[in-house]
């Protein structure tokens, strides 16, 4: 099960990077979302999935009798989900505003919307 989830996380990361490299802003936005989900799945898989125990030690014991689940990856993923949603919302508004102002979502066409007398950005190094 862990190897299947690791493979799925790798596919999510690969798809996210592929979408981030496209020229359309909507695809880039979806790439950020898929990459974030792949990273969350990777952290969750690295924390080892365990159904046979709860992450809380019963009262009166100093350590659990049997195996317990690690609560740290779950807490990290909950925080990452909230931060990822906030980042996605901010980027969605930013992309929408750029589309309203420039009337396009292609990054190459956005470069043409720059002022004529502005210095050109470097195209290569």
Q: Which domains does the chain have, with CATH numbers?
A: 2-52+68-109 (1.10.287.3510)
- Contact between 20 and 28 under an 8 Å Cβ cutoff? The reply is yes
Residue 17, pLDDT above cutoff 90: yes
Q: Are 42 and 7 in contact (CB under 8 A)?
A: no
The pLDDT tens digits for 47-98 are: 776 666 666 777 888 877 777 777 788 888 899 999 999 999 999 999 999 8
Select from 77, 52, 80 the least CA-distant residue to 65.
Answer: 52
pLDDT for 114 equals 66
pTM score over 0.95: no
Query: Which residues neighbour 6 within 8 Å (Cβ) at sequence distance 6 or greater?
Result: 42, 45
Write down the mean pLDDT value for the chain: 85
pLDDT above 90 covers a percentage of the chain that reads 41
């Amino acid at each position: 099960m862990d190897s299947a989830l690791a493979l799925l996380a790798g596919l999510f990361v690969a798809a996210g990077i592929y979408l981030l490299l496209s020229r359309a802003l909507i695809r880039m936005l979806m790439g950020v979302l898929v990459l974030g989900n792949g990273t969350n799945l990777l952290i969750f898989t690295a924390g080892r999935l365990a159904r046979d125990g709860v992450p809380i030690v019963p009262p009166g014991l100093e350590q659990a009798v049997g195996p317990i689940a690690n609560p740290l990856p779950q807490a990290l993923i909950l925080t990452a989900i909230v931060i990822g949603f906030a980042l996605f919302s901010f980027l969605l508004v930013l992309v929408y505003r750029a589309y309203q102002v420039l009337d396009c979502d292609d990054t190459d066409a956005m470069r043409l919307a720059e002022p004529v007398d502005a210095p050109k950005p470097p195209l290569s190094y």
